[in-house]
Amino acid sequence: MQIKIHPKNTFTIIMTIGFIYLGYLIFFESGDGMPEIDVNLKDVISYAVLAIEMGGHAVMKINEEKNLNAAAKGLTDEGKEELLTRADIISNHLILDILQRFPQLQIVSEEKSSDFSDREVEPYRSDNYAVWQSVKEILDRIPNRRLQLSDVRVFVDPLDATQEFTEGLTEYVTVMACIVLGDEPIFGAIYRPFFNETVFGLKGFGVINSDGKELKLVEEEKTTRKVVVSRSHAGKVKEVVEKVYGDKMSIEPAGGSGYKTLRLLNGTAELYLHITAIKKWDTCAGDAILRTLGGAMLDLEGEPLKYSAQDPILNKKGLLGTVRNPYTYFKKFQGIKLL
């Protein structure tokens, strides 16, 4: 028996097979069953800055209420309590709410999803438009760049220096976001809510503040010869600094990795040294900004910090941070047992 296929049916069959193959390419060849999404890096940056400023405004409102509900969320590697407050959780809720508008965006945050409902968080939500208008003109200067969203990770610290926040030392408090491509931090933003100051840096673009001022390196001879170290995790860092620099470099304990990075930027400190374990959401934004200026954060084995999904979140190798060539400083510490 001879079967004849009508030309119209042949076309239908070919089209059906074509759509099936296209569906296969989109949903399976992409690796995770979802199509690739192309984004403008500038848009991700804009939302990241909006998110941390929204989170920071909430931190200030909660501080005014004097109802922090501080509780221990666990112990550090050194056996010290890590605190968690309502401000950490609500800031995180607001930040994630903004960033999750990008489907498939990989977000790495210090805090988990909150138990607070949208209704409970609403009183702490600032007017998006007003916050956005405050930084829009500056962010408009950032160049366009297309990326696959699946290649992008965002690290978030909704409240850096929680310990100091509970003590009323709000000068140390920052809210941070960092954008990573591959294993490299390419954009960092640090917001000081109690001073209404934001600093952001983008690889290949530069570092600017919320006033639109481009930040340049402070001349070396005008930089204060000082090492900033952790208030709560100093370890034996003071002993190490004295062994390397003697009385030529003073030491100042300070809260928050973000704050210590800002001290390097404004030239009131030359070196940031940490010789105990530290999480990468604490370092990512500052590291991105330092790299933009030609510096970096290295671990104490002399390797740049890496932020890919394959790299551990906890850096157990300490860090050395500077706005200048970090290897120049690292050489001074070689031969000294740091960890």
User: What ranges do the domains of the chain cover?
Assistant: 38-209, 220-333
Distance CA 169, CA 160 (A): 12
Give the amino acid at 140. Answer: D
Q: Which two tokens stand for residue 185?
A: 């931090």
3-state secondary structure of 52: helix
Instruction: Say if pTM beats, i.e. exceeds, 0.75.
Output: yes
In 3D space, the residue among 46, 49, 47, 94 whose CA is nearest the CA of residue 199 turns out to be 49
- By the 10 Å C-beta count (0-12 exposed, 13-18 middle, 19+ buried), 211 is classed as exposed
Distance CA 186, CA 188 (A): 7
Q: Is 118 annotated as a binding residue?
A: no
Q: Is 38 annotated as a binding residue?
A: no
Using CA atoms, how far residue 310 sits from 49, 145, 221, 279, 286, in Å, is 26, 25, 40, 15, 21
Distance CA 305, CA 193 (A): 27
Look up tokens 């104490």; give the residue: 300
Architecture of the domain delimited by 38-209 = 2-Layer Sandwich (3.30)
Q: Is 127 annotated as a binding residue?
A: no
Distance CA 226, CA 272 (A): 9
Strands 197-202 vs 206-209: parallel, antiparallel or unpaired = antiparallel
Where on the phi/psi map is residue 92: left (φ > 0), alpha (ψ -120 to 50), or beta?
alpha
3-state secondary structure of 160: strand
Contact 272, 260 (CB under 8 A): yes
Q: Is 303 annotated as a binding residue?
A: no
Output the CA angle 255-261-267, nearest 5 degrees: 110
Distance CA 332, CA 268 (A): 21
Distance CA 291, CA 303 (A): 14
Q: Is 311 annotated as a binding residue?
A: no
Q: Render each residue's pLDDT in the chain as its tens digit; 339 residues.
A: 555 555 555 555 555 555 454 454 444 554 555 677 899 999 999 999 999 999 999 999 999 998 888 776 655 555 566 788 999 999 999 999 999 999 889 999 987 766 788 888 999 998 877 777 878 888 899 999 999 999 999 999 999 999 999 999 999 999 999 999 999 999 999 999 999 999 999 999 999 998 899 999 999 999 999 999 998 766 688 888 888 999 999 999 999 999 999 999 999 999 999 988 999 999 999 999 999 999 999 999 999 999 999 999 999 999 999 999 999 999 988 777 666
Q: Which two tokens stand for residue 221?
A: 């001879």
Q: Which two tokens stand for residue 90?
A: 């609500």
Output the CA angle 255-331-291, nearest 5 degrees: 55
In 10 A of CB 230, how many CB atoms? 21
In 3D space, the residue among 89, 84, 88 whose CA is nearest the CA of residue 116 turns out to be 89
3-state secondary structure of 159: strand
Residue 22 pLDDT: 44
Look up tokens 């930027």; give the residue: 265
Distance CA 107, CA 282 (A): 14
Which residues are identified as catalytic? 88, 162
Q: Which CATH number fits domain 220-333: 3.20.20.80, 3.40.50.1010, 3.30.56.10, 3.40.190.80?
A: 3.40.190.80
Distance CA 95, CA 105 (A): 13
Give the CA dihedral 111, 117, 122, 128, nearest 10 degrees. 60
